[in-house]
Amino acid sequence: MSKRKYLAGPYLVWSAAFIIMPLLMVVYYGCTTENGSFSLENLLALGDPIHYKAFGMSLTIALASTLICLVIAYPLAYILSKYARQSAGLVVMLFILPMWINFLLRILALQMILSNTGVINAVLGFFGISAKRMMYTKGAILVGMVYDYIPFMILPIYNALVKIDPDVVEAAYDLGAGTALVFRKIIIPLSMPGVISGIIMVFIPSVSEFVVADILGGSKILLFGNVIEQEFNVTSNWHLGSGLSVVLMIFIFLSMAVMNRTGTEEGDRVLW
Amino acid sequence: MSKLWNMTPPGPVRKHGRKGLLAAALCLALSGLTLGCMKSGSGNASSEKLTVFNYGDYVDRATIKMFEKETGIKVNYEEYVTPEDMYTKYKSGVINYDLICSTEYMVEKLVREDELEKIDYSQMENMDNLDPVYMDFCSEFDPGHQYAVPYFFGTVGILYNTEMVDEEINSWGILWEEKYKNQIIMENSIRDAFLVPLKWKGYSLNTENEKELREAQRLLMDQKHLVEAYLVDETRDAMIAGDAALAVTYSGDATEAMDSNDNLDYVVPDEGSNIWFDCWFIPKTCRHKEEAQKFIDFMNREDIAAMNFDYIYYGTPNKAVYDSLDQETREDRTIFPDQDVLDKCEVFSYLGKEMDTLYNRMWKELKSY
């Protein structure tokens, strides 16, 4: 027992140095003012119209991209789960493949595709359709985010679906249930843990996103992540930046707690 | 993704963009090598060596060879990418730099930190070559020219595509015209963006009058629905590709973009703009002050300054060089703005913490508008 504990040593050092310490620092900066006295004003700064507007915008975009991911991913994962393991593995692989490339590069590539003189408009032009403006819009941000995060939605749902015991489904058919009923009463509830994991894994990085908004949104849309980034990089107001980060963390913890709860009520354990 | 107006200056960093990064990586590797050699090899030889620190690819190397040959002083030439890199490296104190070239706000900052040596002009022969017009600008951040000697200068202006804009541009006001909706790229750095409405309305870009600043902010908000994007480094590529008709950008970027796309042109509007300077200065770590001053003087010599001008093609404050240029180059508005426009150009000065806070606040308000 105690010998095995040592094996966790490297990870303990790692997490202390790069997770616990930075977190404590963020909390410390967030709860103090410039002269070092304790204050909650940086947390309450969320009440500033600029900040809650940005927060609302982040939330909207994160929810939208999560929803789009779910709508695309679920049917795909369902179809894949019906395939034989090998051929499904190939398709799943195709979805994971882009994750091997640095995400900033992928976003920059999207820029080339979406811009006024980009690939899509060149194709449209070939068919005599006038150029569409796609870059630097909310749509472009959504495309970027969905493109980036969709593998995180597909994988957990796929995993949950292949784990469903085919006997359970067959039993339902034997007892006279139709396809729709089986899907509603068996497949969906049993895949719920995967769906919840997927939602969490897409929603959480989306809500703190800022780079995609900068590159594909042309910095015209202020997300909560942008506000925090500006406080650190431009204004050098680490206290406010940390305070807002703490608010975001609290929000993420709360939403995870809520989703975990619904997850465990519906099915068994959530996958992640 | 830098948009730190007070940290990323409109200096030659912009000129070299991403290519510059590669070059810089190479330079870093090289400087690492030189460092290694210095440690193992020299010691006494270093007394003859002048350590110069400059932006990447910002001098004609032949001029340095000439300097070494003529004076017998060895030059250890090092390069950096952003002024922040320079600042960090200088402050770390690993290398004792004798002479540095950087942008004017760095001079201001280092003077405030008491990091610079006063320059002794008594032995310099070529100072008269410098144009008083530009020296006057330099007095704004370095009164009495105690610390800095200008090397090159540039402006902020409008880069535009002549195929999409078929009118003469003489005012910043064109950036508020409805017909260019979604074809305008604005500068994504706070003070560079604010200077546009401030100069358009005839205010100083260093104004501390909140009413004027709020008016400028209002104008930027009104303009936002016309703006395609707020960009910094990507502006040049977007303009070369023809993604936008008009862009607020630096003259250095503009020159580069115009090389790649013949339909592009650059203008500094009549209402004036920002003018920036890259200067030579001697830091407190200098051990060869006399040699450093010789180097500065050498850089100001007409033939040397002319070689560097041909190589870099930024505005030169060297009057002797300017006078020897052919008519066409002298009238190149990208490099040398007209005198009456220049009269309305200003150097950015540091406005203090309170104004910083106000600017940041207004910037966030604009972005969330």
Q: Looking at residue B349, what is its pLDDT?
A: 86
Angle at CA B45, nearest 5°, toward B44 and B48? 115
Q: Could you give the residue range(s) of every CATH 3.40.190.10 domain in chain B?
A: 12-153+277-337, 155-274+346-367
Cα–Cα distance for residue pair B89/B79, rounded to 1 Å:
11
Distance from CA of B6 to the nearest CA of A (A): 8
- C-beta of residue B16 within 8 angstroms of C-beta of residue B57: yes
Residues of A with Cβ-Cβ distance to B356 under 8 angstroms: 235
Taking CB atoms and an 8 Å limit, are A115 and B190 in contact across chains? no
Q: Between residues A98 and A1, which one has the greater pLDDT? A: A98
Question: B114-134 pLDDT, tens per residue?
Answer: 999 999 999 899 999 999 999
Q: Looking at residue A258, what is its pLDDT?
A: 87
Q: Could you tell me the CA-to-CA distances from B138 to B83, B104, B304, B336 in Å, in that order?
A: 18, 8, 21, 16
Span A84-98, average pLDDT: 81
Span A145-167, average pLDDT: 92
Q: Looking at residue A117, what is its pLDDT?
A: 87
> How does DSSP assign A170-228, residue by residue?
HHHHHTT--HHHHIIIIIHHHHHHHHHHHHHHHHHHHHT--HHHHHTSTT-S--HHHHH
Q: Extract the tokens encoding B161.
A: 């595509």
CATH 3.40.190.10 fits B155-274+346-367, yes or no: yes
Q: What domains can be seen in chain A, in order of their start residue?
A: 31-104+148-266 (1.10.3720.10)
Residues of A with Cβ-Cβ distance to B363 under 8 angstroms: 230, 234
Give which of B14, B163, B266 is closest to A117, Cα–Cα.
Answer: B163
Nearest chain A residue to B357 by CA distance is A235
Q: Is B313 left (phi over 0), alpha (psi -120 to 50) or beta?
A: left
Span B96-113, average pLDDT: 91
- C-beta of residue A220 within 8 angstroms of C-beta of residue B229: yes
Task: Give yes or no for residue B40 having a pLDDT over 50.
Answer: no
pLDDT-derived band at A234 (thresholds 50, 70, 90) equals confident
Q: Of the candidates B190, B231, B368, which has its C-beta nearest A54's C-beta?
A: B368
Span B84-107, average pLDDT: 89
A 10 A CB-CB count for A98 gives 14
Q: Could you tell me the CA-to-CA distances from A28 to A36, A45, A241, B151 in Å, in that order?
A: 9, 16, 12, 45
Q: Looking at residue B351, what is its pLDDT?
A: 85
Interface residues from chain B to A (CB-CB < 8 Å): 1-5, 182, 188, 190, 224, 227-231, 234, 238, 241-244, 356-357, 360, 363-365, 367-368
Q: Looking at residue B189, what is its pLDDT?
A: 86
Taking CB atoms and an 8 Å limit, are B367 and A220 in contact across chains? yes
Place of tokens 């051929």: A87
Residues of B with Cβ-Cβ distance to A115 under 8 angstroms: 238, 241, 243
Residues in chain B: 369
pLDDT-derived band at B99 (thresholds 50, 70, 90) equals very high
Cα–Cα distance for residue pair A168/A16, rounded to 1 Å:
45
Q: Of the candidates A133, A218, A226, which has its C-beta nearest B231's C-beta?
A: A218
- C-beta of residue B283 within 8 angstroms of C-beta of residue B91: no
Place of tokens 């509007």: B269
Q: Looking at residue B26, what is its pLDDT?
A: 45
Place of tokens 């597909």: A154
- C-beta of residue A207 within 8 angstroms of C-beta of residue B328: no
Q: Looking at residue A2, what is its pLDDT?
A: 64
ipTM of the complex: 0.85
Domain B12-153+277-337: top CATH class: alpha beta
3-state secondary structure of B250: strand
Taking CB atoms and an 8 Å limit, are B243 and A218 in contact across chains? no
Which range, of A117-121, A182-186, A267-271, averages the lowest pLDDT?
Answer: A267-271
Q: Of the candidates B229, B242, B360, which has its C-beta nearest A220's C-beta?
A: B229
Distance from CA of B90 to the nearest CA of A (A): 21
Report strand pairing: B275-281 vs B227-231. Answer: unpaired
Q: Of the candidates B182, B229, B243, which has its C-beta nearest A219's C-beta?
A: B229
Task: Give yes or no for residue A170 having a pLDDT over 80.
Answer: yes
Residues of A with Cβ-Cβ distance to B188 under 8 angstroms: 219
Q: Which residues have a Cβ under 8 Å from the Cβ of A224 and sit 6 or more positions away? A: A51, A54, A55, A57, A58, A207, A208, A210, A244, A248
A 10 A CB-CB count for A38 gives 8
Place of tokens 């995180």: A152
- The gap from C-alpha B354 to its chain's centroid, in whole angstroms, comes to 25
Q: Extract the tokens encoding A98.
A: 């882009």
Residues in chain A: 272
Rounded to a whole number of angstroms, the distance between the first and last alpha carbons of chain B is: 21
Cα–Cα distance for residue pair B168/B212, rounded to 1 Å:
28
Q: Of the candidates B190, B241, B368, which has its C-beta nearest A53's C-beta?
A: B368
**Strand blocks (E) in B222-326:** 227-231, 246-250, 264-267, 275-281
Taking CB atoms and an 8 Å limit, are A115 and B241 in contact across chains? yes
Which among B1, B260, B364, B366 is the top mutation candidate for probing chain A, defined by the most A β-carbons within 10 Å of its own β-carbon? B364
Taking CB atoms and an 8 Å limit, are A233 and B182 in contact across chains? no
Q: Looking at residue A264, what is its pLDDT?
A: 58
- C-beta of residue B264 within 8 angstroms of C-beta of residue B160: yes
Distance from CA of B89 to the nearest CA of A (A): 19
Span A130-134, average pLDDT: 87
